[in-house]
């Protein structure tokens, strides 16, 4: 599996610069192929041989250039963003969340690329067949230039595009073709712990990351705590930039990608530009007795007031204050759920890592329906609502440095304590899994008709295990224990 994965990444190397160079190469090959039709490489005798095929060849090569121009427009980031915003509520309910929007953008990009792939493949294969099935001599210069220097390289690029789309489909967990489905939104699966970015396609051992199955995984789709043979992914090299953080220890097992965190400074500045004309910020703590687990948590619901925000307020400062209180809420609930002792809380957070803590916080914001910024959009009364994802990352990064890295000492390298934390998480998982299996057994038979056990479990996983718990399970149980 790993060897095949490495080979696939090598095959799609050309996509690391984005989709534009690939489209430009396709257009250039089609344009050069069309120019061949009127060049000296095609002799008068060969024109007679291809007399019936030439109009179709010319039309195909022309349509391929039109197709690539259209695809360049469709894949323009601004156009994709508008398309995703338009269809947001076909995928998700409630206020717009940046991470959910990134899922839709990634999904839309996948749809455009697969549509392009099919048209591209059909057209170039038809061009190949028109030449190979003709009576042109094997040593024909025209045949050689079109097949060997145009069609051949293009078909190799098409195969690379097919692999790229397959890996995108793996990330999106596509279950059926969205191009032919009436309910497009249900053909993929959104997960909060996946980065829906172009770079994710190049992740090594992608299948294991997205579809955790095999001897170290159980029927609930969460890894057991048995040791795995593959080390966790190593974090990218980290420079001194303020927007990057390597929050790991000194050992290989606690210096992986789970401990690495970053935000995008350009996106951050773009978000700051939107922090104007603010009329309200949701800063409630969701003081619902069904959500809160102890009296200790309730004190955090009284830390942030709910006044309307005036335009001259320091929005970023206020939002930072809200999040600092909200982090305490996230920590209290998560550690209570996992049975983490108070004395071990900071070490648990250290090993949870800033990346998983970000996903956890985003999920809590969504579950408690808070943290949303409301701004006046345009001259009318229309309102824009959003959660500033990059600002959240920046605040987490700075908070992590001050409240986690400056608190946890040499115990960060203590493997026995890390294993103890994994065991506590595993015990919680086993308890909730047993409860989930009991829930499954109690389902009416009519709800099981036409579905297998695994499918029903997947549909109810969030309800039975808890969406925030699943994020913690995937962090500590997915990678196994060293």
How confident is the model at residue 404, as a pLDDT?
93
Nearest Cα residue to 472 out of 338, 344, 327: 338
pLDDT in tens, 332-385: 999 999 999 999 999 999 999 999 999 999 999 988 888 888 887 766 566 778
CA 317/CA 193 separation, integer angstroms: 27
Please state the rounded mean pLDDT for residues 295-299. 43
CB contact at 8 A, 281 and 373 = yes
- Specify the range with the lowest mean pLDDT, choosing from 43-47, 232-236, 466-470: 232-236
Residue 398, both tokens: 């700075």
Please state the rounded mean pLDDT for residues 316-324. 90
Residue 375, both tokens: 């701004």
Provide the pairing of β-strand 383-386 with 278-281. Answer: unpaired
CA-CA-CA-CA dihedral for 343, 360, 307, 101, to nearest 10: 170
Share of the chain above pLDDT 70, in %: 84
For residue 86, pLDDT over 70 is answered with yes
Distance from first CA to last CA of the chain, Å, rounded? 21
pLDDT in tens, 105-157: 999 999 999 999 999 999 999 999 998 888 888 888 888 888 888 888 888 88
Q: Which residue's entry shows tokens 């489909």?
A: 169
| DSSP output for 225-280 | SS--SSPPPBPPP--S-TTEEE---SSGGGSBGGGEEE--HHHHHHHHHT-SSEEE
CB contact at 8 A, 435 and 464 = yes
CA 7/CA 5 separation, integer angstroms: 5
CA 275/CA 293 separation, integer angstroms: 34
The conformation of residue 174, written as its DSSP 8-state character, comes to -
Residue 32, both tokens: 């050069």
- Mean pLDDT of all residues belonging to the chain: 82
Please state the rounded mean pLDDT for residues 273-277. 84
Please state the rounded mean pLDDT for residues 216-245. 49
Residue 322, both tokens: 């809200």
Nearest Cα residue to 41 out of 126, 149, 124: 149
| DSSP output for 332-392 | HHHHHHHT--GGGHHHHHHHHHHHHHHHHHHHHHHHTT---EEEE-SSSS-EEEEB-HHHH
């Amino acid at each position: 599996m790993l060897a095949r994965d490495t080979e696939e990444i090598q095959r799609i190397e050309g996509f690391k610069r984005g989709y534009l160079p690939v489209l430009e190469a396709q257009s250039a090959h089609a344009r050069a192929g069309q120019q061949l039709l009127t060049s000296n490489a095609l002799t008068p005798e060969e024109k007679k041989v291809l007399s019936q095929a030439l109009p179709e060849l010319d039309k195909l090569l022309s349509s391929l250039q039109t197709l690539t121009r259209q695809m360049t427009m469709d894949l323009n980031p601004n156009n994709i963003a508008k398309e995703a915003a338009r269809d947001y509520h076909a995928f998700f309910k409630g206020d717009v969340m940046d991470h959910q929007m990134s899922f839709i953008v990634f999904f839309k990009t996948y749809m455009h690329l697969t549509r392009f792939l099919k048209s591209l493949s059909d057209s170039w294969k038809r061009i190949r067949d028109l030449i190979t099935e003709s009576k042109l001599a094997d040593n024909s210069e025209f045949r050689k230039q079109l097949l060997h220097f145009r069609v051949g390289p293009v078909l190799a690029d098409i195969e690379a595009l097919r692999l790229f789309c397959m890996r995108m489909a793996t990330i999106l967990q596509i279950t059926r073709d969205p191009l032919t489905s009436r309910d497009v939104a249900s053909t993929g699966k959104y997960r909060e712990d996946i980065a829906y970015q172009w770079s994710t396609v190049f992740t090594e051992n992608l299948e294991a990351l997205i579809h955790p199955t095999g001897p170290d995984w159980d029927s609930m789709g969460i890894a057991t705590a048995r040791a795995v043979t593959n080390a966790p992914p190593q974090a990218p090299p980290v420079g001194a930039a303020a927007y990057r953080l390597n929050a790991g220890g000194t050992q290989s097992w606690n210096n992986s990608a789970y401990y690495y965190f970053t935000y995008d400074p350009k996106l951050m500045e773009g978000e700051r530009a939107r922090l104007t004309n603010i009329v309200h910020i949701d800063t409630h703590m969701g003081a619902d007795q069904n959500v809160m687990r102890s009296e200790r948590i309730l004190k955090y619901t009284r830390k942030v007031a709910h006044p309307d925000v005036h335009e001259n307020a320091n929005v970023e400062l206020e939002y930072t204050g809200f999040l600092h209180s909200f982090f305490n809420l996230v920590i209290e609930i998560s550690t209570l759920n996992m049975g983490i002792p108070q004395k071990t809380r900071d070490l648990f957070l250290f090993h949870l890592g800033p990346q998983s803590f970000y996903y956890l916080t985003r999920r809590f914001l969504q579950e408690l329906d808070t943290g949303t910024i409301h701004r006046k959009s345009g001259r009318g009364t229309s309102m824009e609502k959003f959660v500033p994802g990059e600002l959240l990352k920046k605040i987490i990064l700075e908070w992590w440095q001050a409240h986690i890295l400056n608190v946890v000492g040499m115990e960060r390298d203590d493997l026995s304590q890390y294993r103890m934390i994994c065991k506590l998480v595993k015990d919680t998982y086993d308890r909730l899994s047993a409860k989930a299996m009991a829930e499954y057994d109690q389902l009416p038979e009519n709800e099981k008709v036409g579905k297998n056990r695994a499918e029903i479990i997947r549909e109810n996983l969030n309800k039975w295990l808890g969406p925030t718990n699943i994020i913690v399970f995937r962090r500590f149980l997915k990678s196994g224990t060293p």
